[in-house]
Amino acid sequence: MAIGYYSTISGWIIPFSRAMEIFNIDTNKAFKKFDIDPNLIKDPESRVDVDKFAGLLLYCNEQSGRYDFSIQVAKKFHPGMFHALGYAMMSSSCLQDALARIVQYKRVVSNSCKLSLLEQGGQVIFEMIMMKHQSTGRAVMSLQSSETFLATVLYILRELVAFELNPIKMTISFPKPSYNTDYLNEFFKCAIEFDAEKTLVFFDLKQLNTQLLGSNTLITQVHEQMLDEFLSRIDKHDLTYVIKNKIHQSLALGAPSQAEIAQQLGMSLRNLQRKLHVQGTCYKDILEQTRHKLTLDYIVQSHLSLSEIGYLVGFSSVGNFNRAFKRWTNTTPGEYRHNHLHPK
């Protein structure tokens, strides 16, 4: 992917097509106008320039005589649209966990923004940080593109629970448009503030901690491995994902050393260390994060003993595993499992 080229996953073609059918918009004509090849949908890893979809959103608003085409696209979401990420979100343990996955694997969907998740004062704050073109300072994503993404994320979350999930409030960093934006209030069902410093969606922490009926950590792990492999293919320059994938493959046989990983990647140990330093990380941190995350996925699987989990994440002794777990969570593996499986 060339520097400065901002793209998004071609899976958006599916909900765009379905939304256009609602308003009898000629899909072939629309895609041709913005040089989008509908056949790209046959390749789930193909990408489309974000500006093309931004232009298509405006065009469809004009053709429909409305301003809510972004919401119509979100309502036509299909899990496969986000590659394996959609399915990983659906099998997550809770809504907050699902949001954390889209933050972690956001680049699967697009490189046009950054996402973060913050827990604060009984709330979970989902932040969307727009990338900007270096030459002009213009935000890479349009207001309509931002609406589409945020509405799609909320639509996914709502589909995962049996209760009505509405944000507490939402702030948008774009100026308020001249047209009526009531359609946003009707969909998000919360107060919306434009011209804000940041684009944020505020959720109630208790609601987001609701356990999902479709929770399945085994399925989630399979999808996450697919996502790690996908990211290592679309961005070969990001060593973090490449190394994380190598660790995943080796952990059950013991934690691989940095020298072993360097050898597998065909580079010297010194070169690997230098490149990770440039990216602001190190091998020890990547290994620690990978073990931590896998452990939390495994520990809710009651059929696995705690000693088995320790070996699965590369610890040679139960004692070492217990000490690491205490460092990560400030509790023991047994206490953590009991509290998760038997919440008060």
| Range among 117-126, 221-230, 260-269, 334-343 with highest mean pLDDT value | 117-126
Q: Is residue 227 part of a domain?
A: no
Look up the CATH number of the domain holding residue 69. 3.90.1520.10
Tell me the pLDDT band of 196, cut-offs 50, 70 and 90. very high
The more confident residue out of 68 and 246 is 68
Q: Are residues 95 and 195 in the same domain?
A: yes
Q: What is the pLDDT, as a whole number, of residue 343?
A: 66
Residue that terminates a domain, selected from 171, 191, 208: 208
Q: Are residues 86 and 27 in the same domain?
A: yes
Q: Is residue 222 part of a domain?
A: no
Beta strand spans in the chain (E): 7-9, 47-49, 113-120, 123-130, 169-171, 191-193, 199-204
Q: Is residue 214 part of a domain?
A: no
Tell me the pLDDT band of 235, cut-offs 50, 70 and 90. low
Q: What is the pLDDT, as a whole number, of residue 134?
A: 63
Who's near 135: CB < 8 A, 6+ residues apart? Answer: none
Q: Is residue 73 part of a domain?
A: yes
Q: Is residue 218 part of a domain?
A: no
Residue recorded with tokens 């290994």:
287
Question: How many C-beta neighbours within 10 Å does residue 274 have?
Answer: 11
Q: Are residues 188 and 279 in the same domain?
A: no
Give dist(CA 183, CA 162) in Å, integer: 23
Q: Are residues 248 and 200 in the same domain?
A: no
Q: What is the pLDDT, as a whole number, of residue 96?
A: 95
Q: Is residue 226 part of a domain?
A: no
Region 207-211: what's the mean pLDDT? Answer: 91
Q: Are residues 241 and 190 in the same domain?
A: no
Q: Are residues 184 and 241 in the same domain?
A: no
Region 168-183: what's the mean pLDDT? Answer: 96
Q: Are residues 177 and 265 in the same domain?
A: no
Residue 35, domain extent:
7-208
Give 298-315 pLDDT, tens digit per residue. 887 778 889 889 988 999
Q: What is the pLDDT, as a whole number, of residue 2?
A: 33
DSSP H helices, 265-317, are 269-278, 283-298, 306-312
Q: Are residues 13 and 87 in the same domain?
A: yes
| Range among 107-116, 126-135, 210-219 with highest mean pLDDT value | 107-116
Percent of the chain exceeding pLDDT 70 equals 95
Q: Is residue 230 part of a domain?
A: no
Q: What is the pLDDT, as a whole number, of residue 304?
A: 83
**pTM, full prediction:** 0.71
Cβ proximity of 284 and 256 under 8 Å? no
Q: What is the pLDDT, as a whole number, of residue 4?
A: 37
Region 20-39: what's the mean pLDDT? Answer: 94
The total domain count for the chain is 2
Q: What is the pLDDT, as a whole number, of residue 330?
A: 93
Q: Are residues 86 and 175 in the same domain?
A: yes
Look up the CATH number of the domain holding residue 332. 1.10.10.60
